[in-house]
Amino acid sequence: MKTALITGASSGFGEACVKALIQEGFKVIAIARRKEKLELLKQEFKEKLHTITLDIRDKEKVFLEIQNLPKEFQEIDILINNAGLALGQDEFDSLSLEDIETMVDTNVKGFLYIARAVIPILRKQKNAYIFNLGSVAATNAYFGGNVYCGTKAFVGQFSKALRNDLRGTNIKVTNIAPGLCKTEFSEVRFKGDKEKADKVYENTKFISAQDIAKVILSIIHLPEHININEIELMPITQTWNGFYIEKNQ
Ligand code: NDP
Ligand code: 8X3
């Protein structure tokens, strides 16, 4: 039975991936900060799931937990490096330093700690897979995206560079770059302002967390010799909006 490690497992894409992969016969290690959310998953999936209440920004704890996995979860085949967030959508110089640091520390540094801790285990497997959660924000510099866009550009470029470093191994790397998806993402971005978050998805179509899990599973099921480097996906209602030009400045 194959094993997947999924970060950001308490909500959105991560939670949907936990459910979809267990249904496909995987054992899953689920990581997030909210213990009560992970406990609900544990009640549902019992011995097929190992939960770790962990803030991925805690470097020492990331390595400690991954070095001390229970025996039945030690052989990780798939990493879904998914935990991440945006905070705010205003001009960069109006952001608090705390929010700037939280985005960088989670989306870049925590993401790297997880990758650094798990890749030595993946190297020992016959076939392994890394899915990194990038975003369309990596290549589309929208107003107020600033730090978030930058962190996701990092994820995209790191994914390609990592693929180079892993040449000659059986570890595949895919950067998943979604557009508009309805999860807790906007509620987190707008600091719990549900009305503002709901407006993002009002009167339009969006990708669901389950859709993302389906995309990941469909990539897992491709023939072994194929590596999908990157996949960008948007709902049918989303396209690009071109350049902004200030008049009479
Ligand atoms: P959600 O807010 O629904 O889920 C984010 C998950 O990350 C939660 O489980 C949260 O759990 C976890 N998380 C956040 N910070 C930490 C931390 N420091 N340590 C451990 N876990 C953490 O958002 P999505 O599912 O939408 O987002 C998943 C990923 O996909 C993110 O990287 C996001 O940037 C990216 N993405 C999202 C898009 C969207 O439109 N929704 C589009 C493109 C990319 P907890 O709070 O319990 O720690
Ligand atoms: C999340 C999608 O467009 O809000 O990564 O940046 S977007």
Decide: 106 in ligand 1 pocket, CB within 6 A.
Answer: yes
Tell whether pTM > 0.95: yes
Q: Quote the pLDDT of residue 80.
A: 99
Cβ-based neighbours of 62, under 8 Å, separated by 6 or more: 54, 56, 110, 113, 114, 117
| Dihedral angle, C-alpha 122, 33, 28, 206, nearest 10 ° | -100
Q: Is residue 241 part of a domain?
A: no
The β-bridge partners of 52 are 31
Q: Quote the pLDDT of residue 239.
A: 97
Q: Is residue 202 part of a domain?
A: no
Among the listed residues 7, 13, 1, the one whose alpha carbon sits nearest the alpha carbon of residue 185 = 13
- What does DSSP assign to residue 164? H
**Regions of the chain where pLDDT drops below 50:** none
Compute the distance from residue 193 Cα to the ligand 2 centre, in Å. 17
Write out the residue range of the structural domain in which residue 48 sits: 3-180+209-228
| 142 given a catalytic annotation | no
Q: Is residue 10 part of a domain?
A: yes
Strands of 15-162, DSSP E: 27-32, 49-53, 78-81, 128-133
CATH code at 127? 3.40.50.720
Q: Judge whether 140 and 96 are in contact, CB under 8 Å.
A: no
Q: How many domains does the chain have?
A: 1
Q: Quote the pLDDT of residue 78.
A: 98
Q: Residue 113 CA: which ligand is closest?
A: 1
Decide: 82 in ligand 2 pocket, CB within 6 A.
Answer: no
Q: Is residue 243 part of a domain?
A: no
Decide: 156 in ligand 1 pocket, CB within 6 A.
Answer: no
